[in-house]
Structure 1
Amino acid sequence: MNITDSEQDPPLVLIVDDEKFTRLQLRLAMEQVGYRVVETSDGEQALFAYTQMQPDIVLLDALMPKMDGFTCSRRLQTLPGGDRTPILMITALEDQDSVDRAFASGATDYITKPIHWAVLRQRVYRLLQSSQATEKLRQQTERARVSEARLRLALDAAHMGSWDWDLLDNKITYSATAAANIGIAENEVIDTYESFTQSVHPEDRQVVEQIISVAIAQQTDYNVEFRVIWADGSIHWIAARGQVYCNETGTAIRMTGINMDITDRKHSEAELQRQTLRSQLFADITFKIRRSLHIEEILQTTVTEVQKLLQCDRAVLFQLLSNGSGKVVKEQVVPGYASIVGRNLHDPCFHQKFLNKYIQGHISYATDIYNSNLQQCYIDFLQQFQVVANLVVPIFVKEKLWGLLIAHQCNAPRQWSHFEIELLQQLSDQIGIALAQAQLLEDETRQRQELTRANAELQQFASIASHDLQEPLRKIQAFGNRLKAMYGDVLNEQGRDYLERMQNAAQRMQVLIDDLLTLSRIATKAQPFAPVNLTQVAQEVLSDLEILIQQTDGRVMLCELPTIDADAIQMRQLLQNLIGNALKFHQQQVPIVKIYSKILEDWQSHNSEESLDAQLCEIIIEDNGIGFDEKYLDRIFNVFQRLHNRTQYEGTGMGLAICRKIAERHGGSITATSKPMEGAKFIVKLPIKHNRGD
């Protein structure tokens, strides 16, 4: 990808994102293609960096604390040159309101997360190309205007490019420059008003004659811009100014003035206008295509808008299959021509000659299939659909060829303009992005349905576990107790050992089922969030653990804990598991457990209300027990994971897994720090405020 002239510095990209990892990815993606990069983490820094560095393009995250991307984009527009710098909004938002806000705030385009890096680089490349072309045209136009002003001053001072019209004799005398401007050759004689008007373009002739008549009749200045046709047939723009002179009786007898060739300026203005129109058309059609996340609607909107824009006879979306054949999935065709939507098409000539080129991004067009050096088999294939001229652009979804966007002209040959080819290519990029986003939505919907099904199965399991599994277990326990009470004295020592093992196994099974039910009910039987005083909950847990504390001769120091929005039952389960573990996994010395908290402030919040909503608290349970090696940190929070065998410390290995699931359900997290035989510190991070009812 050739990003810049070798004699110029590479374009400078300003990256604005509050996530450090995302900024790193964006920097690498930009530097891989040779761009220079400066990055900031918030909107205020971005505004300062823009004024200092004057970047060529801004990659702007939409959702940032302190100042979001929409506000930053609007502020950038007010800075010198900011209205001409392309802004590519990067956002995880895909709804209509967010799209409208992005464009309304001044964004040139937007791309959604997760970022498709190849598409991002192409989008940046094309935005830079468009910006550079627009700036070049603007500079050319400005230079042309300055040059024109200087030339007018020079002509006024030196009487160059002048003409003189004797109204009484109807004779016009031109200077060499003035004659050349309107296309008069050296040996050609055009010295009358009538011969002058014949050189004026027919579409401008009446206007020029009217302005001249008014100037003479009202004795006012003559000032007009018009086209002239030179002898070689070329068309040039002329700016002419003149002044009427009268005799002592007030009769107009002479008009003198100057003229100049302003063709370059007019071409620059026309090109700038076309560029602006092209950008507007592209933005409008892109908006219509990407405002939907439903594949069928995206495809139908595409063919409708392309047919309307190009005024072609048929617009087609052709989806390719792996064998080179394909199907016309959508079509917009004018009346009088056969519809081909829904048809499965296979053309051997296409597969042999064109498919690999399309895979490589090739664009194909024919102004007249009968005079384009096409193979006869391909001409025969196109004749089935009454095609005389066509334009074909590949569509890629996630870097794979999805299909083709095709325009057909059926009534006559057609010369496809560079503007039409380029616009259709840009639209194909947008279609690919829209299809990828729609596919992501479908995948997400399917995953959501699968999750719903999995939750239903989990609820079914919980129901079975709470009834069908526990019923035979209760019978085993009950009959085991009866057997021990009635026949314990009769059994020999081996029999009593077997009975004791059976009862212990049944008890472990009961604890395991209870833990599994607790784990499954964290989501399925959850209670709405409400204010929970964690100090009171911790005191109740210590009361329940009173016997264990006495057995271990433990000491528990409880500090004041905050009140948070939470599920009270689950907070009790969380604290009971963590405090119980701290007392259970102790050394020979007296177990000491400390329970305290910290409030974590969000430094990016602006006001007290935002600060309250953004606050997090840490609940810390610290002990002097046996500890563990931190290389097992991830393992201890998984289901059925134990670091010690059951003969050393009883338990099912479910307690910490339950704690993690409770913390995550509350929008928080749990972690730990420890060293073997040096105690452990478990840290639970939870939001203080939640939307009630979550």
Structure 2
Amino acid sequence: MILIVDDKPENILSLKSILVLNSFEVDTALSGEEALVKILKNTYSLIILDVQMPGMDGFEVAEAISGLSRTKDTPIIFLSAVNIEKNFVTKGFESGAIDYITKPVDPDIFMLKVRTFCKLYEQTRALNNAHLALQQEVEVRKEAERALQSTLTGLHLTLESLPQIAFTATPDGKIEFVNQRWYQYSDSKDIFPAPHTDDESLTDRWNECIQTGKLLEMEFRIRELTTGEYRYHLLRVMPVITNGIIVKWVGTFTDINEQKRLSEFLEQKVNERTRALQETNQQLEASNHDLQQFASVASHDLQEPLRKIRIFSSMIKSKKYTDPDLLEYLSKITDSSERMSTLIQDLLNFARLSKADSFKLTDLNEIIREILSDLELVVSEKQAFVSVSSMPSLEVIPGLIRQALQNIISNALKFSKPDNVPVVTITADFCEGLSMDSPSVVEGEYCRIYIRDNGIGFEEKYADIIFTLFQRLNSSEQYEGTGIGLAIAKKIVEKHNGLIIAQSTPEQGSVFTIILPVLQQKEPISDSHSLKTTFLTKKI
């Protein structure tokens, strides 16, 4: 925009017409005072100023404009038809004008000067803006450099305080800073500590790290210069990334020699212990084998004289002696020999539980049917009532699980209350954990089998004792048995990776709970779902 200042409107009109015709935006002022007010509010690329004006003349206005910081570079052209002497022209230039034009004015020459001065003003303004921007950029760079230097100083101080060897490197891998610990293992800042000849090449790994831009982590031995000792170190080099570009590498060597030696020592001890355990296991296996052979031979050798005792006792009874004392003695001999035979057989069964057997998917309904068939006579004699819910199929050792269930069911019938009809209830459900408290689910990894009776029961404090070998809570005169049955059941359940729990109240019956894995292996079996869904869950 161009400002025309003249106290004569007709002069302003003629000049404005020429400028507007040449596509210039024009503003006007009729006095020096009005011009200064507009100059303070607006920015002009050129000011055309009349010299002779009332109040402030053109020279005073020009001096005021040149004295303002925001307008000192604005070009001023004096235009006068009266003050054309040399002294006035000189004063005009001294007041800050860049040209002094006298009337009459050639319009073409006038417009050439206007265009030139406007262009010079715009270029000067652009140059000033560029200079200002450059100054600001320089200040920003200086500030960034100061911040970077401060950061580097802090980083170097941090690296010096570390108990490890520490260094930094440029993006292309050239080492630029090392802390003092570096010189314990290298003579030069530019040379990495040399690894042991038997260890992996550090140079190859470092070059690979530079190319890939990835974290480097490796263990190797480096030689301490003063002692000549090779010590294990863990090298970790990480890239420092700014705006997606690696600007620096920071690395540390951590001394792990003691940990490495301790690890090697522990590994050696573990290997020695493993070998010792393997030898002990072999000895135990041989001992178990010998014990099983001994139990088998001993049971056979012990059963033979018992059979003779029973046979000869029966032969004496057959003579029809009438002496009551003699008959009583013979009965005691026969009963004792039978109990001894049962005890030997139970001990043999207990010893055989250490033998390895194979698991297979078994229908527990079939197992329980066989058990009740074998106990049919006892059930009939006691007029007992046995209720069995639908049972699932589990991965078990059929013979052993049959023996465990039979021992518990037999006890439920055996320890019934006189004058009461024995009632035995067998149910099952699924759960997710090997626990009595685990909630029942439709499908689970474990199955709980409940065997309930209404027998004589026992004190809760004896719940663990009854599973101990030869432990009895009742006299053999009242209830026959050897005290091994529940111990055998417990050992069988544990062999199946399961759990057995007894709960009871005197004179109110007992509940034996057996928890077994549905499958011995944790890998899913395709038909396990169909096996589980055939089971009708019963809530106890």
Quote the offset at 1:436 in angstroms: 4.9
Aligned 8 A contact 1:531 1:565 in 2 = yes
Identity percentage over the alignment? 34
Structure 1 residue 466, shift from structure 2 partner = 3.7
The question of 1:534 aligning with 2:364 is answered: yes
2:291 is the alignment partner of 1:458: yes
Q: Is residue 475 from structure 1 mapped to residue 308 from structure 2 by the alignment?
A: yes
Within the alignment, does 1:489 sit opposite 2:401 as a pair?
no
How far did 1:538 drift? 1.0
Distance 2:516 2:387 in 1: 21
Instruction: Give aligned pairs, total.
Output: 314
TM-score when normalising by structure 2: 0.50
Alignment of 1:316-355 (within 5 A): none
Instruction: Work out the CA distance in 2 between the residues paired with 1:458 and 1:272.
Output: 69
2:485 maps to 1:503: no
What letter matches 2:455 in structure 1?
G
Please point out which of 617, 627, 634 is paired with 2:464. 634
138, 156, 172: which one pairs with 1:156? 138
Contact (CA 8 Å) 1:617, 1:688: kept in 2 or not?
Answer: yes
Q: Is the CA contact 1:669–1:685 (under 8 Å) kept in the aligned structure 2? A: yes
Partner of 1:120: none
Q: Is the 8 A contact 1:625 1:677 kept in 2?
A: yes
Deviation at 1:453, TM superposition (A): 2.8
**Contact map agreement 1:477 1:506 (CA 8 A) in 2:** yes
Cα shift readout 1:475-503 (whole Å, capped 9, x = no counterpart): 222222222213x416x222222221111
Provide the C-alpha distance between the structure 1 equivalents of 2:514 and 2:151, rounded to a whole number of angstroms. Answer: 78
How many angstroms apart in 2 are the aligned matches of 1:459 and 1:602? 35
Q: Corresponding residue for 2:414? A: 584
Return the TM-score normalized by structure 1: 0.40
Query: Does the 8 Å CA contact 2:223/2:229 hold for their aligned counterparts?
Result: no
Give the Cα separation in 1 of the matches to 2:499 and 2:268.
Answer: 36
Whole-Å separation in 1 of the counterparts to 2:519 and 2:339: 38
Closer/same/farther in 2, CA of residues 483 and 154 from structure 1, 3 Å limit: farther
State the secondary structure of the residue aligned to 2:464. helix
Aligned to 1:310: 222
Which residue does 2:431 correspond to in 1? Answer: 600
Q: Which segment is superposed worse, 535-544 or 437-446?
A: 437-446
Distance change in 2, residues 1:389/1:601 (3 Å): closer
**Is the CA contact (8 Å cut-off) linking 1:310 and 1:420 kept in structure 2?**
no
1:449 to 268, 282, 289: 282
Within 5 A, what are the aligned runs for 1:238-277?
265=155, 270-271=166-167
Q: Does the Cα contact within 8 Å between 1:549 and 1:583 map onto a contact in 2?
A: yes
Q: Is the CA contact (8 Å cut-off) linking 1:535 and 1:562 kept in structure 2? A: yes
Deviation at 1:531, TM superposition (A): 2.3
**Pick aligned residue for 1:672 from 488, 499, 502:** 502
Aligned mates of 1:506, 1:160 — CA distance in 2:
109
CA distance in 2, matches of 1:476, 1:555: 38
Does structure 1 residue 564 correspond to structure 2 residue 394? yes
Find the aligned partners of 1:160 and 1:677 in 2 and give their Cα distance: 96
Alignment of 1:266-415 (within 5 A): 270-271=166-167, 309-311=221-223
Unaligned runs of 5+ in 2: 1-134, 160-165, 170-177, 186-193, 200-217, 233-251, 435-441, 523-540
- The separation in 2 between residues aligned to 1:159 and 1:520, in whole angstroms, is 88
Deviation string for 1:381-419 (max 9, x for gaps)? xxxxxxx777999xxxxxxxxxxxxxxxxxxxxxxxxx9
Letter in 1 for 2:424: V
- Residue 439 of structure 1 and its aligned partner are, at CA, apart by 4.8
Aligned equivalent of 1:342: none
Change beyond 3 A, Cα 1:159–1:467:
closer
Instruction: Kindly indicate whether the alpha-carbon contact (under 8 Å) linking 1:637 and 1:657 is maintained by their aligned counterparts in 2.
Output: yes
Aligned-pair distance for 1:458? 2.7
1:431 maps onto 2:413 in alignment: no
1:440 CA drift (Å) = 4.5
Deviation at 1:669, TM superposition (A): 1.4
Higher RCO, 1 or 2 (CA under 8 Å, sep at least 6)? 2
Deviation track 1:238-285 (CA, whole Å, cap 9, x = no partner) reads x9xxxxxxxxxxxxxxxxxxx99956556768547899x99xx99xx9
